[in-house]
Amino acid sequence: MREYRPPTEPYLTEVYADDTLLVFDKPSGLLSVPGRDPAHADSLASRSQEKYPGAMTVHRLDMDTSGLVIMACHPIAHRLLSQQFQERQVEKIYYARVWGELEEESGEIDLPLICDWPNRPRQKVDFEVGKPSLTRWERVAAGGGFSLVRLKPVTGRSHQLRVHLQAIGHPILGDPFYAHPQALAAAPRLLLHATELSCTHPNTGERLHFTSAPDIATFHMDSGL
């Protein structure tokens, strides 16, 4: 297992806060919730609870994935927000830099996924017992042997985007679980970022939309890649 060295600067990036919900921008390398090992106690949840003692986790991002995360301020908000996730009423958009140049402008990846138990926490495609999993993608730019893609997960399986892209031959750069050696060495971290998140405010019914731009230097967004 890799040594856990969560980034501390910035310590906590707050995107939005009211008395019902909170939105944070999680850095790559920080757990969403504490792990069982005391060495893994530092997390987005524990940091947010230092400022907002009642904060409750609604959903998670992988440790290596960066971007937007919603938390609830109290149990009623937690129940209502969790229901939105379960009913697929929350819209999420990710950006990723992947190995290879995608030829098509857009497409879908419809491959059932299940935990690869002997190799936890890895997931795998399994057509017999895997759970239905669907990802829609758009090519934003391609060149130099890489592509920048916009991803919309319709389902929310663990590692879904990472496994789906690996399965079609375009692993995300810097992925320690699914990238081949060349793709792993091509980036200093997993180049997957949760850039947009939309949900309905549990109290007001207003549709909220949050954004977080990927790190320009890391994703090479300034050159289109």
Q: Is 62 a catalytic residue?
A: yes
Which pairing describes strands 192-200 and 66-72: parallel, antiparallel, or unpaired? parallel
Nearest CA among 30, 94, 20 for reference residue 58: 20
* 77/90 Cα distance (integer angstroms): 14
Q: Which of 62, 64, 116, 126 is catalytic?
A: 62
Letter string b/e over residues 49-69, b meaning 16 or more CB atoms within 10 A of that residue's CB? eeebeebbbbbbbbbbbbbbb
> Which of helix, strand or coil describes residue 135?
strand
CA atoms within 13 A on the CB side of 128: 0
Task: Give, for 110, the enclosing helix (H) or strand (E).
Answer: strand 106-110
Contact status, residue 171 vs residue 180, Cβ threshold 8 Å: yes
User: Annotated active-site positions, please?
Assistant: 62
